[in-house]
Chain A
Amino acid sequence: QKEVEQNSGPLSVPEGAIASLNCTYSDRGSQSFFWYRQYSGKSPELIMSIYSNGDKEDGRFTAQLNKASQYVSLLIRDSQPSDSATYLCAVISNTNAGKSTFGDGTTLTVKP
């Protein structure tokens, strides 16, 4: 079992729709959770961080964390073609400071 698993893509949504990205993790000591966006040929760009259970909203992005279920998700509302990218879920454990463990990523395509 991978330490961080993301729903397999690719994911395609029409412009204006909600895109839902999911991630599960295996280490119950995980305490920091992130969503990064990566365009082809570029480095990962942090779009959301979440540390406690519940929802965190930032503009069109909402991250949801459920530590009991070891689950973190990202919702993108009013999806735009510019949101087309690979989204990486990352987790840092309280026993491994400085080490992010990444999922394989989900490629999102937003069609005009």
Chain B
Amino acid sequence: KAGVTQTPRYLIKTRGQQVTLSCSPISGHRSVSWYQQTPGQGLQFLFEYFSETQRNKGNFPGRFSGRQFSNSRSEMNVSTLELGDSALYLCASSQLAGSQETQYFGPGTRLLVL
């Protein structure tokens, strides 16, 4: 099976712009989660989608939004970019097996905001 894919891999934007990141989960996985990783804050949960519905949301401002399509692919959007949004954005997909859930991460999108 192909793994989780993310596009683009690298992105440079300027403050005030917006950005859209894309994630394709492992085939058959219906849950897609997004995380932000920075040196200072570690890995922080943004939100999770399952069957096109947001099930869980982390403590991020409304500038961060996402959606999931019927084929389970997901996009994340950040509007009005700030310097502090520079980070590695990771997408993870999972397929529940009973009560056992395992997340597999994509390669990430490294975003630099200038």
Contact = CB atoms under 8 A, between A and B. Distances in A.
B70 interface: no
The majority secondary structure among interface residues of chain B is strand
Contacts of B71: none
Interface residues of B, number: 27
Contact of B99 (A31, A96, A99): A31
A43 interface: yes
A100 B92 contact: yes
B42 A98 contact: no
B50 to A, nearest CB: 6
Interface of B: 31, 33, 35, 42-43, 45, 48-50, 55-56, 58, 88, 90, 92, 94, 96, 99-108
Interface of A: 31-32, 34, 36, 42-46, 49, 51, 88, 90, 92, 94, 96-105
